[in-house]
A and B are shown apart, each in its own frame.
Chain A
Amino acid sequence: MFGYNAYLIVSSATVLGASAGVCGTYLYMRKNSLLSDAISHSTLAGLAMAFLLVSALGGNGRSLVVLLVGSTLSATAGLAAVRYLVNNTRLGSDAAIGVVLSTFFALGVVMLSVIQILPIGQKAGLEGFLLGSTAGMLAQDAVLITVLSIILVVVFLVFRRDILVVSYDPIFAQTQGISLRRTDFIVMYGTLAVTVVGLSVVGLILIVALLIIPSAAARFWSNRVEIIVITAAVFGGLSGAVGASVSAFVEDAPVGSVIVLVSATIFVFSLVASPERGLVISLIRKAQSSWRVHLAMGLLSVAENRPIYEEKTRTILQKNGYLRPDGSVTATGQNAAMVALKNEQRWQVWTSQMQAEGTSVDPLGWMKIEHNLTPDQLRSIDRHLFRRDLSNA
């Protein structure tokens, strides 16, 4: 069952997943994830043409090296086409990507149909590159994939700071002498290399998934780039390892799809459970914040003797025991309202009189000011309030 060939597949899928995770993170940082879609779809034309050409010359068109060279050439052309359209026309990158991926892929499909017509031997299996096929994987293929993946990761590690600076602040990067062209070149051709290497394992349609999903999933777990890169590598490697192993045991389960579905599972888990930006925590925070704002607004209305319009505000005040069902205010409600009013006045003094910068800093009126300022800051606010009351009186 789990023979030599299976080990080859699992190890190459793991290495491929990890390097795609690393590369994909930088692609994500450059906000260009779907560029990989154009690159990968463009490979088909070159793949088919290389096969056609080498076979016509009497060579072995199915050799992995031949196919890799062909797909690299057409993917480079596709990439150049996207860049031309974005730089020299009014089309946005989404349209440019759509145009290139459909046209180049269509050219590949035409070429495949030509191959079907021509009397060439050994043409079966070329379509395996669409969805990946590992059935006939050789040891040398696995070595090739591993070596290329490792080179890629090393290149990314060497230039990681440049890419980071360029992604964060392109203008600053240029003042620091970091070339935008060079970093973009590395990110794009790195993506191209991962795509081409990954063709034989997961296929050209699903390699995009390995470039996008692990890095997007990793984004949920940290705000630090180094951590995100490592997490993405782990997620990608894990997807490759688990996916390839599962497909080795389950008959008819195509490797590429299973790998992608494993990574999708990791993504969904991250989306739901991430402690910082996950679905669960977001919903809880939203509810809490809504509750707090209603409570604060309600108490302020009570303190300033204004009517409370909202049903939800009244309900929340009642649940806290501040309001009776008939709408009258309880004693604890009066106290709480006074506390809230004082809190609000203190915040207003702080944001308008004390804080050095008045712009864009949260006057967190619905939060307890004692939790956010030091005792001496509070004392100075209260002195100010006292003076103001004196002068008003």
Chain B
Amino acid sequence: MLDDFLMFSFAPMLIGLFIAITCAILGNFLLLRKQALVSDSISHVVLPGIVLAFVVTGSAATWPMMIGAGVAALLSVAFIEVIVRFGRIEPSAAMGVVFTSMFALGVLLLELSDTRNVHLDVQHALYGSLESLIWLDAVGWRSLLDPVALAGLPHELWRVLAVFALVTGAIIVFWRHFVLISFDETFAASAGVHVGLVSIFLISLSAIAAVAAFDAVGSIIVIAMFVCPPATARLLTNRLKTQVALSVLFASLSVIVGILASGYVLRPFGYTDSVSAAGMIAVISGILLAASAVFGKHRLAVN
């Protein structure tokens, strides 16, 4: 039982936790800046980015793909800005134009290029493969202290850990900047904060988080973790720091409950197979939101 957990659930849970917490922390600021759908947009444009990186470099190595996806995310933000500013198109419509077009381009490139030998398809991009991230070297708790066994942990873990460290570090260092541009852009600008630069920084961090997460868990979890835990937390408190802390808590809860539920939900029906863990995590986060939307102490604005 314990060995089973360490071998099959430990790594997915850890990876899921790092991803969910990273996305949720950033999601608080996107939510407050009324840019919740930026995560939707980013997670769609990641596909053409990695496909293009694959077509150009001919390999499915991690770094080219992450760079490709990051570039695609920033490009999409630039396109949206141009369409809104020059074309005077509704921002949400402009966003819809850009991310659907780029996603379509990604699908087309994927179908036209020869990707049979690599792990790259649309389904994978959508739901990821959290279940496949197993730790074969695990034999009991002692493995957690055994460097040889630890080396056998899926390499995705180290990647999401690095991104988690980067994002939490950046949030701590630039906390005041993010708060200022989220609350009062005009005051921020007059006080010498480069609003454009800081908001691009926030979006870049989101893109990095989405790209790192996407390979392991797929884009649905990414969107769900960016939006649901912060939204849930917002309905329970009127303090920013509490909101961020609660969002981390809800993100973690979604991952743990989601992974456990995915393994056991079909047991009563006589099946021992797991359902999609990524999907289950997102569903749990949605259930948490639904609960706080109905019962949350601060679900309504005061005025």
Chain A positions within 8 Å of B, measured between CB atoms, are: 28, 31-34, 36-37, 84-85, 88-92, 94-95, 97-99, 101-110, 112-114, 117-118, 127, 130-131, 205-206, 208-209, 212-213, 215-216, 219-220, 252-254, 256-258, 260-261, 263-264, 267, 271, 274, 277-279, 282-283
B86-141 residues at the A interface, CB under 8 angstroms? 86-90, 92-97, 100-101, 103-105, 107-108, 111-112, 122-123, 126-127
Q: Let me know if B46 is at the binding interface, CB within 8 A.
A: no
Q: Which one of B104, B221, B282 has the highest number of Cβ atoms from chain A below 10 Å of its Cβ?
A: B104
**CA A205 to CA B82, docked complex, whole Å:** 24
Q: Does B279 contact A (CB under 8 A)?
A: yes
Shortest B13–chain A CB gap in Å is 17
On whether the beta carbons of B104 and A206 are closer than 8 Å, the reply is: yes
Assuming the A-B contacts A131-B122, A209-B100, are A90 and B279 also in contact, with contact meaning beta carbons closer than 8 angstroms in the complex?
A: no
Q: Please judge, given known A-B contacts A213-B101, A282-B86, whether A109 and B220 are in contact too, CB under 8 Å.
A: yes
Residues of B within 8 A of A36 (CB): 96
Residues A113 and B93 in contact, CB atoms below 8 Å apart: no
Chain B interface: which size bin? 35 or more
Note all chain A residues with C-beta closer than 8 A to B87: 219-220, 271, 274, 277-279
For the complex, is B276 an interface residue (Cβ under 8 Å from A)?
yes
B37 and A103 contact, CB distance less than 8 A: no
Enumerate chain B interface residues (CB-CB to A < 8 A): 31, 34-37, 39-40, 44, 82-83, 86-90, 92-97, 100-101, 103-105, 107-108, 111-112, 122-123, 126-127, 220-221, 223-224, 226-228, 231, 234-235, 262, 266, 271, 273-276, 278-283, 285-286, 289, 293, 296, 298-301
Find out whether the CB atom of B275 lies under 8 angstroms from the CB atom of A113.
Answer: yes
Cβ contacts under 8 Å, B31 to chain A: 95
Residues B103 and A34 in contact, CB atoms below 8 Å apart: no
Q: Which of A34, A206, A283 lies in contact with B95, CB distance below 8 A?
A: A34
User: Would you give the shortest CB distance from B38 to chain A, in whole angstroms?
Assistant: 9
Q: Are A213 and B36 in contact (CB under 8 A)?
A: no
| Residue among B82, B224, B301 with max Cβ neighbours from chain A (10 Å) | B224
Chain A residues in 8 Å Cβ range of B105:
257, 261, 264
Task: Tell me how far the C-beta of A61 lies from the nearest C-beta in chain B, rounded to whole angstroms.
Answer: 18
A102 contact from B92, B97, B122, B228, Cβ within 8 A: B228
